[in-house]
Amino acid sequence: MIFTDEHEQFRATVREVIDRHINPFADDWEAAGMFPAHELFPKLGAAGIFGLEYDPADGGQGADHSFTVVYGEEFGRCATGGVAMAVSVQTDMATPSLARFGSPELKERFLRPAIAGTAVAAIAVTEPDAGSDVAGLRTRAVRDGDEWGVDGQKVWCSNGRVADRGILM
């Protein structure tokens, strides 16, 4: 794959963020079993790490997929897998469906803060009988007059301990 100067500049930015804001604290965060997501995520948002391929009208960068490849390569340098996974939940699990299918109001209220890093997103998939097999999920949205309710059960919510908002599947 051939990367442009712009891709390499982004690589340097991501590497600096990891070297300055993640790796020096990795051992302490791992020992604590927690990291300060609400302090870290705004720094990642300011660096343009969230919303790489999302529409600029929604706060994204509108970048090509090679930027996502660069992000993935560099995040492999994280000294803590937990942080790398939490960031991946934000970038690759909890926000894509909202970016693609969300109404303008939902994008403004939920997607834009996730891209900025001012909100931590979670995703709830895992169920008692289906695990994470999305084809076997039983949770449903149920209309009750003018309101919607949820009928089902989740046993795990990725980023759930620190999330401000979540996507329920």
In a domain, 52, yes or no: yes
**Catalytic residue at 164?**
no
Domains contained in the chain, number: 1
In a domain, 145, yes or no: no
In a domain, 162, yes or no: no
12 Cβ neighbours under 8 A, 6+ residues apart: none
pTM exceeding the 0.85 threshold for the entire prediction: yes
Predicted pLDDT of residue 40: 98
Predicted pLDDT of residue 7: 98
In a domain, 38, yes or no: yes
User: Which residue in the list 27, 64, 92, 129 is annotated as catalytic?
Assistant: 92
How far is 75 from 57, CA to CA, in rounded Å?
A: 26
Express each pLDDT in 159-169 by its tens digit.
Answer: 999 999 988 88
In a domain, 57, yes or no: yes
- The range of the structural domain enclosing residue 56 comes to 5-103
Tokens of 4: 């442009």
In a domain, 9, yes or no: yes
Instruction: Characterize the bridge pairing of strands 165-168 and 121-124.
Output: parallel
Predicted pLDDT of residue 35: 97
How far is 35 from 28, CA to CA, in rounded Å?
A: 9
Express each pLDDT in 37-79 by its tens digit.
Answer: 999 999 999 999 999 999 999 999 999 999 999 999 999 999 9
Q: What is the CATH number of the domain that holds 17?
A: 1.10.540.10
